[in-house]
Structure 1
Amino acid sequence: MRCAPPPDFRYVWLVPGPSFRALTLAAGTVGLSSLGLALGPETAAWSLTSGSLPIGLAVAGGAAFAVGLVRQIQRPRAPFGAREVNMAIVPWGVLVDPGAEARILRWSAIRKVEVEVKHTLRGGTPAIVSSVVTVQTEHDVLAGHAPGAVGLESLTVNLDAYTDEASRPLATDLEGMDALDEDGLGPVVGLLLRHAQELCSTSRGAARLHLPAGDYRRALLRAPGPETVAVLGRALAGDVPGAADPRPIAALCAALLGAQAVTPKLLRLSSSPHPIVAAVARAAALRLGVAPAKVGSIEEVDEFLFEEDRVIIARIAAGID
């Protein structure tokens, strides 16, 4: 099983940009206001120098607005026909109009992501002053702006790989041979947890994990041996013969067995483009004692999870089976 490099971005906020018509109208309004200030009948009330102060204020105000207008014009324009919206790009997809009624776009719903930037020279060094990001789905083209660089180079290069990884069925075994039928259609973490508990407690599972036969709680009396850590490590890395993804069930087994030796692999999975993989890896790492600031909060993934999965994942992180 080949895995994409984890996304190197966490939360990219984008907003609609002002239209050129709006900028032109604003420029005209400020220009007329400045002229009125300079030549209006109340000029004497502003200064005893026959209007030199208001004229100066008008010039200064116009100059300040001109600077702002130039900055807006420096912004790259969204493609023709694109709908400009508020968006948040996270490792698991795109949230359109984030909030109570956010529209969720998983990677499988996104056909293309493009980034256009505007440069300027600062002290002779090129610098990005603004960016526009375009997200294309099967039926829609969305765009949003951000100041400076957005750091989405890995997304534009690896979008197809993220889509493949996020769409891969989840495994109920450590070899990736048995896929979960419910994957993507409903809550899955409860089923994965039951399979993990069976692996850790049955004689067959104990043999696969190189554990002593019996309840996994007895195995917690001592740290998992190197053979167990090696099996879990291979599954967490996706180094398995099957096509299904064994990483969530491996993370759950690691959490149940107290396998702290695999926490570096769990941290790597905490930003996986598959939301279940990321959320379960975070829960397992938290249960194994990793600081929340290091692994990230489970709540960051909430929008991409079913409510039942959220509850079970929170219980796993808290050490409640």
Structure 2
Amino acid sequence: MNIQIKLYSLAISLLSFDGFSSESIHTNFSLSSGLEYDSQLSVIELDQLTEQSDTAVKFKGKANLNWQASPSVQVKAGYAYSTKQYQKYDEFDLTINQISADVSKNLSHFKLGTQYFLADADLADKSFLKLQQASLYGSKLINNRYFFRLATHFKHKSFALVSQRDANAIGASADGFIFFNQAKSFVSLSLSTDSQSANDKTFDYDEFRLQNQYSHQYQVWGLTQKIQLALSYLERDYQHVTPSIAQKRFDIRQSAHLLWQLNLNSIFSLHTKLEYADYQSNIASADYTEQLASVSLRQAFKY
């Protein structure tokens, strides 16, 4: 089942609805750099855990394009590059390249869209993981205050050195937002499910995720600021016995993060973030707590 063929067929169906004209194209770019402290270095995708902490230098660059191809059709594309370089333990250095594409059409009562996402990750300067996801979604904005989105998605994960973890997954998600403060602030609730089938049946699982988020923008001393709080709960139920523990694996992951953003001017902003994660599992290498703290300076440009 080729995930890209699914995407292309969905996109063609959307784009065939009407003709196009280059009405407007907008682009934006951003660069950010900073430091991140991690109390518990790990590679969560491989269940690798160390008792060591370290501080990493982080850099991220993003470029996005938004094209209003016709009065009812919108096209978006994006590229992001991020790297994290640790001071002591360079075996955890991580570099990720991401590309995304989104095509949507406003119908009479809702928006229909299709989306593609590709992430290519290197670990310690070696090829590590490729993730592809294709989605079909429908969304609705009511009174410029309430926003709802339903989606189904197809995923494919490919590991460079551990092909037994290569997997396909199918899932669904539901998101709801309530906007206030002239749409500069919101509260949201997201639910999602995934069912994964891997090359090695040991890694087959069903997953449920719940996330709640609060974001508020305000001004102090003439400077725009934003505070954001997010809570996340994930439950992963493995479908087959894991030989090392002679039973089915079961994971619960809970996390909370608090972000504060200070806009220094129209281009520069300062970002700080605190995060706490509690990972519970009957696999010892996936059972731990983690604290992260980061600070970064961001530059943003619009054209």
More strand by share: 2
Structure with greater Cα Rg: 1
- The TM-score normalised by the length of structure 2 is 0.20
- The TM-score normalised by the length of structure 1 is 0.20
More helix by share: 1
Looking at both structures, which has the greater relative contact order when contacts are Cα pairs under 8 Å and sequence separation is at least 6?
1
